[in-house]
Structure 1
Amino acid sequence: MNTFRPPIWLILICLLWLAAIIWIGPWGEFPLNDDWAYARPVQSLVEHGTLDIPQGWPAMTLVSMIAWGALFCLPFGFSFAALHISMITAGLIGIVLTYVFIEEFSGNRRAALLTAAVVAANPIYLNLSTTFMTDVFFYMLLIWVSILSLRTIRTGSMRTYVWLMVALTIALYTRQFALFLAVSFGVGYFLSRTYSKQTFLLAVFPVFMCAAELLLHQYVFYPLLGFTDLHSPWMNNLTDRFFQPLSLQYYHYRNAILAAVGYPGLFILVLWSLVPGQALRLPLWGIRLSRWLPFAFLLALFIAHYPSMLMPFIINVWVDFGSGALSLRDGILEMAKIAEAPAILWQTLTVMAIVSGIMLTALSLNGLRNILSNFSLPLPFRSVLILFSLTFPAQYLAVITVAGLFDRYYILLIPFAALLIALHGEHRPLRRWYGAAIALFLTAMFVFSTLSTRDYHSWNSARWLALDDLTNELKIPADHIDGGVEFNASRLYTRDFVPKNPDVWWWVPDDEYVIAFDSLDGYTTVRTYPFKTTLPWVRIHELRVLHRNS
């Protein structure tokens, strides 16, 4: 068994990432984004030995992450700080596993280091690593399962196969998307060998195992143990989407296509420096890949011309303010001009994202075409790698495109896109100006990620200080306050809540008091709570406690 020895550059990436986390200081005792729903069952498990899941809100299986969070709460009891440390740990492991995944299966150490740096510098990944959201934890499991899958395909080791089943189960009981990994493994394993009954059974068993575990979860563990009810409103979007008005469908699918092309394209942008010119001379539909560049650039310029199609394509974690969900009323409803980054910044990022995304799509189609045109069993391992890097994203994108969109969903595509590019990459040293451009881009991205995440925790600290003063000092009951999604959900969530105002859907029975970024019509500011920001385009530096006029 080979011992993993991380290179010095990987150690430096991890240390720099941890230093940024420490400077951000994500130790506040309050929920962030949707993690109130995931923290509640951890708290009930640690303190009472039961699962108190807010049924109807979480759409994922969640059990493995509850156990992970509880493990970090065991030494000193439940706290959000412990939960944040658990995700920071998962985030760090995810960075290391990303390096292992790319280095082991592409043989390209430079590509592996660059991909690890890309993940570490990603603003969505860094922000979510300081919360208790499921995305970073599932990313870690996704890479682990992918490594075991490809090792099993390459070696045929039954010991690795058994470990793969264990890892798949753990991943599946975090998010159902692990089923797609089982399908990807099954396809790769079956096509990498000559046909036999044993090969077929070993290929399809993980898929049936995952399906059986999901049925067990819903029809046994949910009613008996209180596991998540998978029949949540989010799952209903899969069918409801097709019955929406055409105008809404157009808007949804337009943004879905832009996001599916643009976010992965931007995330892996620097990896194109590894691809030699001859790799772009490969034909796709009779046209060299390099000749797709002018088309991609013109299309990107056309898209960037329209403000409604600029990045961020989906308002969730990566926003004009920086990073982190703007979960106060005027943030959710976009009523306040909280920040205004220079238009040229979003235009430049949009052009780069679309060009890179189109080229990534072309490279994917070219890889698939080559496999199909020379198809014979067993497939060479390189072809299996390309197929594996395409099958999970294809299944995943098909579901999230229809069901619903959040920008954080797209970080799961980074390792697969990176592997595809690394398989076409060179091993020789980069040209000096390439290296300088990569260093500049990654540094800028990492600085932005760090500053924006610090700002996110800064304004949330001010928000929860204001809420503590309202509830403890002024004795205002929670059901008379609109403190944003996390406050009202963590205190007043019910599955059958009917809002008085359909726009204000987050469990606000009476909005006598509102915490907001700016003033609101019909309200008077009674207190302000300043917070520090570091990004120059942020316009608001204090939160307001508003009281409804009589």
Structure 2
Amino acid sequence: MGKYQNYIIAGIFLVFAATLAPWAYNFPLNDDWAYALAARTLSETGRLTLSDWGSATQLPHIITGAVFAKIFGFSFSVLRSANLLAGAAALFVFIKILGQFEIGPFEKTAAALALALNPIYLLLADSFMTDIHYFFWMLSAVYFYVKRLKDPGDTKALGLAGICTAVAYLTRQLAVALPLAFTLILFLQRRGRPSQASPQPQAEKPSWRVLAAVWGPPAAAIAGFYLWFAQIHGPTWASENYVIGATLAHLSKPFALLSDTLYRLFASIMETGLLLLPLGAGYIFSLKQFSAKNSFRCRINSAGPWLALAALTVFALLYGPLPYLENSMSRSGIGVLTLGGAGLKPSGLFSSQVFWWFVTAASAVSSVFLLCASGLALRAGSPALRFIFAASVLQLGVGLAGAKFFDRYLLTLLPWFAAAAVFSARGVRFSRPAAALALALCAVFSWTGMKDYFAWNAAKWELSARPRAGLSSSEIINGFDHDAWFNYEKNMAYLKSMKPLKMIGEWEWQKVGSRKAIISFTPDARFRVLDKTEYSTPLSSNKGVLYLLSLDRQP
């Protein structure tokens, strides 16, 4: 692939995503309606107004969506296309990061494709959620921080890192971890010894000038956003009840916090093993090399992998098979399940307990290899590589402190494990056939799951939109995203006119107004079937069926 590898990987991702025809599905997915409402308002009126639902800072994301909507017209197809381009750009940057560590072309390709073809990345890129947009700016900042650590004289890289960090913060608050990680590495590298495997220049002294350059742009972004939000925009439901309030409530219960954190950590390790299964599979024949002599001239403790495997096995026996974290993967498919009656949803292997136990076992083994590679990379790598570790772990720490922890939060952890896995291939044998086979299987897993997600969501929106006398779409219970798109803004406006934001419950808006019907995967003998629709899914030879049920009970 040579010097065009960055473009080729980004192109492969776009072609892979295009086979799903994402432009054909003009409807929201999960929470992206909240960001779409803000983008539409900005494109049509010029007013930057954040939804009460969104907790992220989100400004560059909204502005990008508004620009695309202004040029091409507002639709979820347009917003989704903008996000897919951001996803391709993030992969481009990720390849450039790997290029800083003398990683072979096959290994770089494997790492980028493992990231691109995993179900969560594909799902988020095919939506208008903020995660992918943030991921691009976060990786851009990481790239320039890495360049600066490798060349302390590169003042341009430090300036660009600060700018990218500021934009990343204005997209999601997680970015505050990036300058903190860089500062930490600056102080720690003064104590470290150069690695024989990764020669490095003389360690940079953490002067006040450097620290000011590191913290200046993100600090300005933090202060600017706070002043704009407090003095011009005003509070939202999320800012009053979730961003700080729910987080502090979560942190105020130490025993529950410890229990939740341990569960989330083990679940994160297991699900990371699944998401980066191709990279773990590459070391399936090389376990002993991690603890034996290798070209890095350092190794991990031979008991470590077995202890990790034992701990993950106990966790799986206690909590059952994957998936553990909500809400991108479930035993009904990929994506957030928003309709009831999923027991009759044709989900193929996704509904098989045996399949998920097999996936859990494979993920546990993959996790062990990824942990081995991480340990080796931390010992043999340069401060620049350790910075990626610090940035990923600190972002994970911010996520763990929150009241809710979704599987999509693992996205910021994946660059470290992917980079460590392919860096370790410089000294430990990496099986290309095993990695390629696992990549193909993961691509099928992600593609079929995403195609199914699009299919049943398209069916529910089409069923709701059919013209009927005395029944509008806004009066149909059709999943959280559907209800929010039609009712959230007007219902929240009504509630805010009645009481303060802090007194409004998270789901209280759904109780405002009347509902006359509900859409479900399963008919209910208590309710009359008004209509139904079928849809095709790659998960099963049987067609899925959705039912529109009247909420008037049958006599």
Q: TM-score range by the shorter chain?
A: 0.7 to 0.9
Asked whether the equivalents of residues 185 and 383 of structure 2 are also in contact (C-alpha less than 8 Å), the reply is: yes
Q: Which residue is 1:460 aligned to?
A: 457
Shift in alpha-carbon separation, 1:23–1:107, aligned structure 2, 3 A = closer
**Mapping of residues 80-159 of structure 1, within 5 Å:** 80-155=76-151, 156-159=153-156
Q: Deviations over 1:351-375 (max 9, x none)?
A: 232333345446546666x59xxxx
Correspondent of 1:298 among 292, 310, 313: 310
Asked whether the equivalents of residues 98 and 115 of structure 1 are also in contact (C-alpha less than 8 Å), the reply is: no
Residue 29 of structure 1: SS of its match in structure 2?
coil
Q: Which residue is 1:516 aligned to?
A: 520
Counterpart CA distance in 2 for 1:413 and 1:20 is: 23
Residue 413 of structure 2: SS of its match in structure 1?
helix
Q: Which residue is 1:280 aligned to?
A: 291
Counterpart CA distance in 2 for 1:253 and 1:474 is: 51
Residue 90 of structure 1: SS of its match in structure 2?
helix
What amino acid does structure 1 have at the position aligned with 2:303? R
Q: Which residue is 2:484 aligned to?
A: 489
Residue 204 of structure 1: CA displacement?
5.0
Residue 184 of structure 1: CA displacement?
1.4
Q: Which residue is 1:177 aligned to?
A: 174
Q: Which residue is 1:414 aligned to?
A: 414
Residue 82 of structure 1: CA displacement?
0.9
Shift in alpha-carbon separation, 1:236–1:540, aligned structure 2, 3 A = farther
* Deviation larger for 107-116 or 184-193: 184-193
TM-score, normalised by the number of residues in structure 1: 0.84
Identical aligned residues as a percent: 23
Shift in alpha-carbon separation, 1:452–1:102, aligned structure 2, 3 A = same
Counterpart CA distance in 1 for 2:548 and 2:408 is: 30
Asked whether the equivalents of residues 60 and 230 of structure 1 are also in contact (C-alpha less than 8 Å), the reply is: no
Shift in alpha-carbon separation, 1:506–1:485, aligned structure 2, 3 A = farther
Q: Deviations over 1:36-58 (max 9, x none)?
A: 00011111111111123212x11
Shift in alpha-carbon separation, 1:297–1:26, aligned structure 2, 3 A = same
Counterpart CA distance in 1 for 2:37 and 2:506 is: 25
Q: Which residue is 1:317 aligned to?
A: 328
Q: Which residue is 1:22 aligned to?
A: 18
Q: Deviations over 1:116-142 (max 9, x none)?
A: 110121011111111101111111111
Residue 24 of structure 1: SS of its match in structure 2?
coil
Shift in alpha-carbon separation, 1:250–1:191, aligned structure 2, 3 A = closer
Q: CA RMSD in A?
A: 3.4
Asked whether the equivalents of residues 273 and 363 of structure 2 are also in contact (C-alpha less than 8 Å), the reply is: yes
What amino acid does structure 1 have at the position aligned with 2:365? V
Counterpart CA distance in 2 for 1:153 and 1:288 is: 25
Gaps of 5+ in 1: 372-381
Q: Deviations over 1:447-472 (max 9, x none)?
A: 11111111111111111112212xx4
Shift in alpha-carbon separation, 1:330–1:401, aligned structure 2, 3 A = farther
Q: Which residue is 2:61 aligned to?
A: 65
Asked whether the equivalents of residues 87 and 132 of structure 2 are also in contact (C-alpha less than 8 Å), the reply is: yes
Q: Which residue is 1:405 aligned to?
A: 405
Asked whether the equivalents of residues 518 and 544 of structure 1 are also in contact (C-alpha less than 8 Å), the reply is: yes
Aligned residues: 518
Asked whether the equivalents of residues 338 and 540 of structure 1 are also in contact (C-alpha less than 8 Å), the reply is: yes
Residue 108 of structure 1: CA displacement?
3.2
Counterpart CA distance in 1 for 2:254 and 2:89 is: 44
Q: Which residue is 1:344 aligned to?
A: 354
Q: Which residue is 1:375 aligned to?
A: none
Shift in alpha-carbon separation, 1:195–1:258, aligned structure 2, 3 A = closer
Residue 251 of structure 1: CA displacement?
6.7
Residue 534 of structure 1: CA displacement?
0.7
Residue 542 of structure 1: SS of its match in structure 2?
strand
Is 2:242 the counterpart of 1:233? yes
Counterpart CA distance in 2 for 1:204 and 1:107 is: 32
Correspondent of 1:545 among 521, 525, 548: 548
Counterpart CA distance in 1 for 2:307 and 2:163 is: 45
Residue 147 of structure 1: CA displacement?
0.4
Q: Deviations over 1:132-174 (max 9, x none)?
A: 0111111111111110111122223122222222211111110
Residue 438 of structure 1: CA displacement?
1.7
What amino acid does structure 1 have at the position aligned with 2:401? V
Q: Which residue is 1:473 aligned to?
A: 468
